[in-house]
Amino acid sequence: MPGNLKDISDILVQLKSIEHGFKHINDAGSLLLKEPGTHHFDLARQLIEDESYQGRMLGTYMLGVLSPENPAALSILKDTVSKDPNWRVQEMLAKAIDEYARITGYEEALPTLQSWLESDNPNVVRAVIEGLRIWTSRPFFKQHPEVAVYLISQHKADASEYVRKSVGNSLRDISKKFPDLINQETSGWDLSDRRISFTHKLVII
């Protein structure tokens, strides 16, 4: 593994002692990314193959930070990390794509976000929808909530209940500040479709 093996091993031991949360993972990743002389991308690639989910979360966080300047990092997030079976790693993937969009600029990141939303992998789709919550608290979407609603609502009838839950919850978030916009969107939904009806119930709770 690239970098100082002892230091990285010590960090992993410490991370493995904590089962829940993200801040300690992010802090460790930020520390490693500041380490001079370390091949950060190579280290992150190694970490996403670690036997512990904490190590894989750490690698995922690092790839998210590196992704705006490294297209390969973004590709690994989409094509490899999205297949990780651990739900905590998938939560970190959602945070990683938001980190990509934050650093890139949310408007500038729109083509990438749309590309991810068109994926056949529900983990990739859900990463965007969940990662940007609350969407209308983000720059660009704060001024253009209709764009957020459009992007999220594309998946109101998604085959994955996992994705539809994220859609419903995200739209409900937005409804607190933009109720008319959400009412306008949902008024045209076909509630005879059981998938759409499922999502609708989450929006109007």
Contact (Cβ atoms closer than 8 angstroms) between residue 126 and residue 155? no
Same-domain status, 55 and 89: yes
Rounded (10°) CA dihedral 94, 45, 67, 90: 0
Residue 4: per-residue pLDDT: 52
Query: Which residues, in sequence order, are CB contacts of 199 under 8 Å at separation 6+?
Result: 156, 157, 164, 167, 168, 171
Q: Does residue 205 carry a pLDDT above 50?
A: yes
Same-domain status, 142 and 153: yes
Residue 16: per-residue pLDDT: 84
Same-domain status, 93 and 134: no
* Alpha carbons 24 and 68: distance in angstroms, whole number: 22
- Residue 84 sits in a domain whose CATH number is 1.10.1240.70
Same-domain status, 145 and 180: yes
Q: Give me the number of domains the chain comprises.
A: 2
Q: What are phi and psi of 201, to 5 degrees?
A: -65, -30
**pLDDT tens digits, one per residue of 32-78:** 999 886 799 999 999 999 999 999 999 999 999 999 999 999 999 99
Q: What are phi and psi of 7, to 5 degrees?
A: -60, -45
Same-domain status, 135 and 205: yes
Same-domain status, 88 and 157: no
- Residue 198 sits in a domain whose CATH number is 1.25.40.290
**pLDDT tens digits, one per residue of 77-135:** 999 999 999 999 999 999 999 999 999 999 999 999 999 999 999 999 999 999 999 99
- Tell me the residue range of the domain where 35 lies: 1-104
Q: Does residue 17 carry a pLDDT above 90?
A: no
Average pLDDT estimate for 164-179: 98
Same-domain status, 84 and 159: no
Domain end among 104, 128, 146: 104
| pTM for this entry | 0.93
Q: Does residue 149 carry a pLDDT above 70?
A: yes
**b/e map of 135-157 (b: 16 or more CB within 10 Å)?**
bbebebbeeebebbbebbbebbb
